[in-house]
Amino acid sequence: MTSSAYTNNGRSASPNLYNTLSNGSNKSQSPLPQNKSQYETGGTMTNGWGSSNEEMSDAMKMVDSMQSRTTESSKVLSEMEERILKDSSFGRHENADKWSTLEVCHWLNSIYLNKYANNFSSLSIDGSILLNDLDENMLTTELGIKKIHLKKCLREISKLKEAVQSVQDTQNMFIDLIEKRGTEMNKNGRIEELERQVASLEQINSKLKGNLQILSQWTKQNQTSSQAAQDSNSQNSSKVDDALQNPSQANENDS
């Protein structure tokens, strides 16, 4: 081995640096293998280099996992920022029941519980699930919410529910008003139609009255003419009867 591989006390520098970073202590290091064959074959390395290699492997896995989570978080944040810039309705509380998983993560970030965003994202928790399906047990056991954050999380969920309900109540009120207005318009339209029908009937009735008056006058005239004719006929008939009964008188009247 070269001199640069060892410290002045004959111990390897690399294992000592790794143990300092990974364990945070200054524990003494196991000595290097005492001979070449032991160094090459592993010999009795379970208490020295062997255990350090296993720890190094575990540490590397942990680093890879952290880097993967960091990369995923950065990706989510970038996508979130892009959506916020493009969509003015993104993350609005009154639309929480229609939120995507990304909007749920944005909400967690806004209430300073972004440490749980990866858990929500991995389980695809959207707005509907957030407001309607989650309970205390699911928040703690499946989504990893710590007890110290549980009440805050539940309070914030309740605020979202109130915001959604407020919008729904307002929408229902407008729907009722529109339906009521429509009903009133229908009633008014029906009333106007009835009024037009009444006016038409009044015109027809007026014409019928006029025709009836004309008919009544014509009937009276006919009755008068008939009566006059009857009276004239009656007089003529009376004269004839008198003449027949008194011929001499009739001759005198004629002369």
- Among 27-31, 138-142, 157-161, 246-250, the range scoring the smallest mean pLDDT is 27-31
Q: What is the largest CA-CA distance in the chain?
A: 196
C-alpha 229/C-alpha 245 separation (Å) is 24
**Cα within 13 Å of Cα(188), Cβ side:** 6
Residue 37 pLDDT greater than 50, yes or no: no
Say if CB 99 and CB 164 are below 8 A apart: no
Say if CB 134 and CB 85 are below 8 A apart: no
Report which of residues 12 and 84 the model is more confident about.
Answer: 84
Instruction: Go through the domains of the chain in sequence order and give each one's CATH number.
Output: 71-164 (1.10.150.50)
pLDDT band at 151, cuts 50/70/90?
very high
Computed over every residue of the chain, the mean pLDDT equals 74
Whole-structure pTM value: 0.45
Give every CB contact of residue 249 below 8 A, 6+ residues apart in sequence: 242
pLDDT at 108: 95
Residue 116: name the closest of 140, 151, 88 by CA: 140
Q: What is the pLDDT of residues 90-114, one digit of tens each?
A: 999 999 999 999 999 999 999 999 9
Q: What is the pLDDT of residues 178-233, one digit of tens each?
A: 777 777 777 777 788 888 888 888 888 888 877 877 887 787 777 777 776 776 76
Residue 158 pLDDT greater than 80, yes or no: yes
User: DSSP secondary-structure letter at 45?
Assistant: -
CB atoms within 10 A of CB 86: 8
Residue 141 pLDDT greater than 90, yes or no: yes
**Cα within 13 Å of Cα(9), Cβ side:** 7
Q: What is the pLDDT of residues 238-252, one digit of tens each?
A: 666 666 666 665 555
